[in-house]
Amino acid sequence: MSNQPHTTRADPRNDPAAATRVTWPDLAVTIAIAIVLYLIGILLLLQVPQEDTVVAGLAQFAVSGLAPLGAVLLTLAVRKRKLAHFGITRVAPKWLAIAFVIGLGVVAMNIGITSLVSATTDAADVQADYQSAATSGVAGFVGAVLLGAILTPIGEEFLFRGVVFTLLTRYGVWIAVILSAAIFALSHGVNLATPVAFVVGVSAALLMNKTKSVWPGVVVHAVNNASSTIISVIYFQLS
């Protein structure tokens, strides 16, 4: 009989570290649910008359926020995960203030990047319906702010930072920052919004890494989206 000590391989299901981090099955479930919700949203969008750009814009905002938000919340329930696993946790108020300032910097970069890209390429502007909603009157403006500058940032940050970035950190912080930001940017398609979305993604991911919370990223995202809505209204009033 061997005198070597008997060892057993640890069961991942009993690994405390594994139980507190986002896993590939978590991502798979989230993406599957998100696809279903996006498809449902698209089917509903197709029912909106093409000439009704205001309703179309608000509906697009709603889908872009509700689909990822619903996917993450349903994953939390199905996978029996805690909110903190996905970075949905409190953060010190100072980080929200810092995020707001960073958001203003992103807005300045947004204006510069968009101006440069639109002047040097023929990249498409996919914000037309959103702008129509924001400039349609008080109700449209309020709807654009609530859906585009609050709901959408929450839903997208829960998905792209709370799930995707957190999962990728196991391969290194900078890989997670760049790759999650690139995935986020490309999810918007290749257009005028792509480079701006990448900057927002990098900023939000770095804040997520520092604070372990999605909320500073939500603030950066919200400031950028709100600025787009406000700028659209100002431009419409001056033109």
132: pLDDT strictly greater than 90: no
pLDDT tens-place string over residues 160-219: 999 999 999 999 999 999 999 999 999 988 888 889 999 999 999 999 999 999 999 999
Tell me, what's the pLDDT at 19? 59
pLDDT at position 18: 53
pLDDT band at 44 (very low <50, low <70, confident <90, very high): very high
Rounded CA-CA distance 137/132 in Å is 10
**In this structure, are residues 131 and 57 in contact, taking their beta carbons and an 8 Å threshold?**
yes
Percentage of the chain lying above the pLDDT 70 cut: 88
Residue 123 per-residue DSSP state = -
pLDDT score for 123: 66
Residue 106 scores a pLDDT above 90:
yes
How many residues are present in the chain? 239
pLDDT at 227: 92
Alpha-helix residue ranges (DSSP H) falling in the chain = 24-45, 53-78, 93-120, 128-134, 138-146, 152-157, 166-168, 173-186, 193-211, 215-238
pLDDT at 16 over 50: no
